C-alpha cells in the first residue's frame, strides 16, 4: 500500500499558523481551574451528550467514546470530587435519542411525530432526526442518581402544549415483572405509563404560579418519580421564558 507520510516542513508551517492565532489561549487548564477554585470564583462546567451514552455506564455498544456523566468533570479537568458544587441535570419534557440503541418510551404514533416537528428535533452535529417519545422517569431517576443531581432543568415544556393527555413512564415491565430501575440489558422492555391531562399553552410563563395547573401536576409527578427537584423550567425558545424555582 502506498502511504504518504506527512511532510515535516509543510506540517511545521501549518502548525505555526495555528500557533499564531491560538497560542495565547493555550495554558495548563488544571492549574487555571484550581486557581479559580482557590479564589472562590464561580465555575460553570458543561457536559456533552447524555448519560446513557457514557462509555462505562451507557447502553453499550450504543455509546460515545468518553465519560458523559458529571464525574467526567473530575477526570477531564483534574477537579477533585469534593470540589464539585451544584449538579444540574438537563432533561427535556419528553425523551429523545439520536441513532440506534434502546429507547423504551419511543412513540411511533402521531404524538412522537408532533414532538419531533414542534421541538425541531434534528441532531446538531449529525443532522439526523431525533427519535422522540414520552418522558422516561425510570431512566431519568437512574441518570439523576448516577450524576448526583441536585436539581433538574426541564426544557421544552411548551412542545407538549395542546396534547389532550400526556404519558409519563413510571416503571418497566420485563419478562412479565414490573421493575422501577434500569436493568443491565434493556431489550424487550415494555414501558408502564400513567396519563396526565394536558394543557393549552405554557408559552410566556416566567413564574411557576403562571403555569396551568395540569402542567404543575406534570412537573410535580416528575419530581416524585425521579426523586429530584425541578429547579429550572423552559416554557418557550425565548431566553426570557425561563422559570427559576427557589
DSSP string, the chain: ---PPPPHHHHHHHHHHHHHHHGGG---HHHHHHHHHHTT--------S-GGG-TTTSSTTS--SS--STTHHHHHH---GGG----EEEEESSEEE-SSS--TTB--SHHHHHHHHHTT-B-TTT-PBPEEE-EEHHHHHHHHHHHT-SEEEEE-GGGGTT-SEEEEEEEEEETTEEESS--S--TT-EEEEEEEE--S--TT--SGGGS-HHHHHHHHHHHHHHTSEEEEEE-SSSTT-EEE--
Antiparallel, parallel or unpaired: β 95-97 and 131-133: antiparallel
Q: Does the annotation flag 68 for ligand binding? A: no
Does 245 show up as a binding residue in the annotation?
A: no
Q: Is 125 annotated as a binding residue?
A: yes
Neighbours of 131 (CB within 10 A): 21
Question: Binding site annotation covers 157?
Answer: yes
Distance CA 92, CA 120 (A): 13
Which residues have CB under 8 Å from 180's CB, separation 6+?
138, 170, 171, 172
Is 53 within any annotated ligand binding site?
Answer: no
88 is in an annotated binding site: no
Q: Could you give the CA distance from residue 173 to residue 163 in angstroms, rounded to a whole number?
A: 25
Q: Does 99 appear as a known binding residue?
A: no
Instruction: Determine if residue 129 is labeled as part of a ligand binding site.
Output: yes
Is 49 annotated as belonging to a binding site? yes
- Residues annotated within the binding site for GTP are 130, 156-158
Residues making up the binding site: 49, 64, 124-130, 156-158
Pick out the residues of the known binding site for substrate: 124-130
Binding residues for IMP, as ranges, are: 49, 64, 128
Amino acid at each position: 500500500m502506498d502511504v504518504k507520510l506527512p511532510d515535516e516542513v509543510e506540517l511545521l508551517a501549518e502548525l505555526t499558523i495555528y500557533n499564531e492565532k491560538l497560542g495565547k489561549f493555550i495554558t495548563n487548564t488544571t492549574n487555571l481551574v484550581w486557581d479559580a477554585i482557590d479564589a472562590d470564583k464561580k465555575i460553570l462546567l458543561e457536559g456533552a451528550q447524555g448519560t446513557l451514552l457514557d462509555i462505562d455506564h451507557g447502553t453499550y455498544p450504543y455509546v460515545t467514546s468518553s465519560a458523559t456523566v458529571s464525574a467526567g468533570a473530575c477526570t477531564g479537568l483534574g477537579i477533585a470530587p469534593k470540589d464539585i458544587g451544584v449538579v444540574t441535570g438537563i432533561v427535556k419534557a419528553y425523551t429523545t435519542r439520536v441513532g440506534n440503541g434502546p429507547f423504551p418510551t419511543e412513540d411511533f404514533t402521531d404524538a412522537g411525530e408532533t414532538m419531533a416537528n414542534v421541538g425541531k428535533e434534528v441532531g446538531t452535529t449529525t443532522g439526523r432526526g431525533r427519535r422522540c417519545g414520552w418522558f422516561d422517569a425510570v431512566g431519568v431517576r437512574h441518570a439523576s442518581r448516577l450524576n448526583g443531581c441536585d436539581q433538574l432543568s426541564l426544557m421544552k415544556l411548551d412542545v407538549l402544549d395542546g396534547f389532550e393527555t400526556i404519558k409519563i413512564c413510571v416503571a418497566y415491565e420485563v419478562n412479565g415483572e414490573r421493575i422501577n430501575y434500569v436493568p443491565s440489558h434493556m431489550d424487550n422492555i415494555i414501558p408502564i405509563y400513567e396519563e396526565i391531562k394536558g394543557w393549552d399553552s405554557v408559552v410566556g410563563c416566567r413564574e411557576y404560579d403562571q403555569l396551568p395547573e395540569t402542567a404543575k401536576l406534570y412537573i410535580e409527578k416528575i419530581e416524585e418519580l425521579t426523586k429530584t427537584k425541578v429547579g429550572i423550567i423552559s416554557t418557550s425558545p425565548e431566553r426570557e421564558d425561563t422559570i427559576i424555582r427557589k
